[in-house]
Amino acid sequence: MHVISSGSKGNASIIYDSKTTILVDMGISYKRLCEGLKEINKSVNSIDYILYTHNHSDHVSGSNFLDSSISYCRVGTLQVPEKNLLDLYKNYQFGDFVVMPLLTSHDALAPCGFLFKDGKEKLLYLTDSGYIPDSTLKYMHNCDYYFIESNYDAHMLLTSSRPLSLKERIASEYGHLSNEQSAKYLVTLIGDKTKGIMLAHLSEECNTPNLALATYKNVFAEDGVSLKDINLVCANQWSSRDLC
């Protein structure tokens, strides 16, 4: 997984192997996408499939630059061919990968995350969710890799200059996961197969990478769960990073 950009100003990630290349979300410029693909020796022509999580601009603003015939999403997210509309909790074969859309809770028309499987490993991709529904949680146990939202620090959000209505929206069940909420989910979900966790969609105004990482480490320590053998890192808004 090559994360080109993650945050409120744009999101795009590449899931790939030697035969299949999948773009998840296109909320960045075409130029930035090309630069990110070049970092892994690929081009736009390398993309086999494009998956979209929801219709907010930071996830779809660049979709018009790309081929809708290889774009897939839930109904109401974007205009794609009817055969490319995805149903929740159904397995789809995209090249070498089996992908299952997972329900999220966000103030968008039809939001979802994705579970990727290649026959050997599992990668969970889930951002933009005020909480994680039980119907989704049951598919999230003991993944090899987690790309999981850790959007805000509760104290920084509360004391920020943002309007009260925006604070309430972010902290609601249709908003985003805080550092503590995210960590409390993951401490119950990781298992002996888990190798890496990347904290995603960090707010630039109400979070920092150091705060997000420290919160995770504190929650795991309080529960007596070790992070010693797990690569815990933060995704970035302005530069690429690899999860696996």
In the chain, what are the domain boundaries? 2-242
pLDDT score of 31: 98
Burial of 23 (0-12, 13-18, 19+ CB in 10 A): buried
Regarding pTM above 0.85, the answer is yes
Per-residue pLDDT tens digits for 111-161 = 999 999 999 999 999 999 999 999 999 999 999 999 999 999 999 999 999
Name the percent of the chain lying above pLDDT 90: 100
- SS3 state at 192: coil
Angle at 72 between CA 197 and CA 43, to 5 degrees: 70
User: Residue 116 corresponds to which tokens in the numbers above?
Assistant: 């990727």
Give which of 214, 205, 217, 111 is closest to 151, Cα–Cα. Answer: 205
Q: Which CATH superfamily groups domain 2-242?
A: Ribonuclease Z/Hydroxyacylglutathione hydrolase-like (3.60.15.10)
Q: Which helix (H) or strand (E) holds 217?
A: helix 209-222
Confidence of residue 103 (pLDDT cuts 50, 70, 90): very high
pLDDT score of 244: 84
239 CB-near residues (< 8 Å, 6+ apart): none
